[in-house]
Structure 1
C-alpha cells in the first residue's frame, strides 16, 4: 500500500454518514473517493475541481453545487507544502480561489500530504499563484515588484494559445518569492492589491494535516504537534 492510499484510509475516519464533505484534487483524493464507494458511504460532495467532480460521478457519489450549501462538515485537500503553523502553499491547479471558498464554509479543513511536503516554515520553492482580473494584470505586476520576489510571469500552457484562464475567466500570475517570508502577512498583502482575486497561500483556514509516511499516518496540529 502506498502512502497516499494510507493517508486516504485515515481521512475516511473523519467522515460521518450523511455529511457534506469538500474534496479538492489530486491522487490522494481519488483514493478517498474509491474508499467512499467501496464502503458504500452516503455523503454529499462539494468540489472546486472538474476532475474530482468527474471521478465522483463515476463512483456514484452525489455532487452538489457550492451555491446550494451553507456549511460543509469536513473538507479534504492537498498542497505543495505545509509548515508547522499550518500555513500551506498550493501552486499547481490554479483553482485556489474556489478552494478557499470551500475551506471557508468548512467546519474542518484537513490537508492530506506525505511527509516530504512538511517543513518547519514555508520555503517558497513553489510559486505563490495570484488569480488576477485581466484588466488589472499590468497594475498587479507592477505592484508585485515591490514585494520580495525573485520573478513573476503569467501562466501559459502548451495546450492552448495565450495565457491560462481560470473558470472565473481570470489570469494566473506565478510569483516566485524569496525565502524567509512571513506567510500570513504575505497573504494579507497580496489580497490587498487591487485586481488580485486571491492568492494560493492558505494561512488561516487549515485546521489539521494528516501526514503519511512509511510507518503510518500522523495528525499534525498547529505548532507542529503530532499524534
Structure 2
C-alpha cells in the first residue's frame, strides 16, 4: 500500500462522530479527506471540515464532507501533512503554498495530527527550502533581508502559467534555503518579525501526534516529555 495512504487511513481512525476537523492540503491529506468522506457516507458520521485551501475545500465537497469555518466553529482535530519532520516533531510545511491558513487552523485545533511517509523524517530541518509567504509589494526587501540572514532565496514560479505562484491569500511565496536549522522555534519568530512577511513554513512545537507510513507498517510518534 502507498505509505502516504497508510498514514492517512490511520489518522481517520482518530476522528469521532461530531468532530470539527481541520482539513490540510497536499497529496497525503488528499487520501485522508477521501477516506473521511467514505466514513461519512457509509457510517453516517457527522463531521464538518475546516479547509485550509481551495483544493481541500473542493475535495471535501466532492467527498461529501460538509464545510465550515473558524468563524463558525472551533476545530477539534486538524490533520495535515508535512514536508519535513525532525525528532522533536517540529515541521517544515508549505510545499503546496497553503501554510498560512494551515498554521492558523492547525494551531487553533484541540489536537494537531501530522501524516507523512517515512521519507519526510529528518535529523534536522532545512534540506527542504523554507516557504515564506510575503505581500507582493514587500517581495524585494524581504528577499534582501532573508539573504542577509544567510539564506539562498528564490521566488516560487508557477507550473502551467507564466509568473510567480500566487497563494489563496493573493500573496507570493519565497523559498529560502538556510541549510540545517539549529533553532526552528527561534527562526520561526525571527522570520515573522520581518515587515511584509505574512507567515513562514516552520511549525515548531505544534504537533500532538505524527503518524508515519513506513515499509514495516504505521508508526505513531508523540512529543517527548
Which residue in the other structure is 1:117 paired with?
Answer: 120
Which residue in the other structure is 2:184 paired with?
Answer: 183
Which residue in the other structure is 2:2 paired with?
Answer: 2
Contact 2:25–2:98 (8 Å) recurs in 1: no
Distance 1:26-1:166 versus aligned 2 partners, 3 A rule: closer
Which residue in the other structure is 2:19 paired with?
Answer: 19
Alpha-carbon RMSD:
1.7
Distance 1:8-1:147 versus aligned 2 partners, 3 A rule: same
Contact 2:54–2:168 (8 Å) recurs in 1: no
Q: How does the TM-score come out when normalised to structure 1?
A: 0.91
- What does 1:1-227 correspond to in 2, within 5 Å? 1-39=1-39, 40=43, 41-69=45-73, 71-122=74-125, 124-149=126-151, 151-223=152-224
Distance 1:37-1:163 versus aligned 2 partners, 3 A rule: closer
CA distance in 1, matches of 2:78, 2:129: 24
- CA offsets per residue over residues 108-141 of structure 1, 9 Å max, x none? 111101112112221x121111111122122211
Distance 1:161-1:28 versus aligned 2 partners, 3 A rule: closer
Q: CA deviation at 1:161?
A: 2.9
Aligned residues, how many? Answer: 221
Q: Secondary structure at the match of 2:22?
A: strand
Q: Secondary structure at the match of 2:182?
A: coil
Could you list the runs of 5+ residues in structure 1 that have no partner in the other structure?
none
Distance 1:161-1:55 versus aligned 2 partners, 3 A rule: same
Q: CA deviation at 1:144?
A: 1.0
- CA offsets per residue over residues 50-69 of structure 1, 9 Å max, x none? 22221211121101123322
Q: Secondary structure at the match of 1:68?
A: coil
CA distance in 1, matches of 2:158, 2:17: 40
Q: How does the TM-score come out when normalised to structure 2?
A: 0.91
Q: Secondary structure at the match of 1:67?
A: coil
Contact 1:75–1:102 (8 Å) recurs in 2: yes
